[in-house]
């Protein structure tokens, strides 16, 4: 079974600064997908970024980028130029690419990000 671990229960950052959220996972599969979801106080789950394990290039979406280290099974999220609206709980999630996964996402415990003005 896959497990996802977010070792930072809480992080904080000053507005306009950069912060990195950590995620490690454990799997015996070679083909899979990784996601970061954001959950603001409104509790809506919003996709931030996604990475396919077969791609060596790290995914980027505007101010959000990942550092995907497949051998180390590490998938960190970097938020540049942090904004007040980035304050939320961030979840790392894993999806096995195999046909029997049926869309099952396995989530980490979450990291609460506070952004200070």
Interface ranges with another protein (CB under 8 A): 32-33, 35, 37, 39, 42-47, 50, 52, 89, 91, 95-97, 99, 101-107, 109-110
- Stated length of the chain: 117
CB of 54 to another protein, least distance (A): 11
> DSSP label at 30?
S
User: By C-alpha distance, which of 65, 51, 48 is closest to 95?
Assistant: 51
Q: How far is the CB of 112 from another protein (least distance, A)?
A: 9
Nearest distance in Å: CB 67, another protein: 20
| H helix runs in 2-117, sequence order | none
Which one, 19 or 49, has the nearer CB to another protein?
A: 49
Nearer to another protein, 50 or 70 (CB): 50
Q: Quote the DSSP letter at residue 84.
A: G
Is beta strand 19-21 parallel, antiparallel or unpaired with respect to 74-79? antiparallel
Q: Which of 76, 73, 91, 77 is nearest to 29 (CA)?
A: 73
CB closer to another protein out of 43 and 117: 43
Q: Smallest distance, Å, CB 103 to another protein?
A: 4
């Amino acid at each position: 079974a896959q497990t996802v671990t977010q070792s930072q229960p809480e992080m904080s950052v000053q507005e306009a600064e950069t912060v990195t959220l950590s995620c490690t996972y454990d799997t015996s599969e070679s083909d899979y997908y990784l996601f970061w979801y954001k959950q603001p106080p409104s509790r809506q789950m919003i996709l931030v970024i996604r990475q396919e394990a077969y791609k060596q290039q790290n995914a980027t979406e505007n101010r959000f980028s990942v550092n995907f280290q497949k051998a180390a099974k590490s998938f960190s999220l970097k938020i540049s130029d942090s904004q007040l609206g980035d304050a939320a709980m961030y979840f790392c999630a894993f999806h096995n690419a195999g046909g029997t996964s049926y869309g099952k996402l396995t989530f980490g415990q979450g990291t609460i990000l506070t952004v200070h003005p």
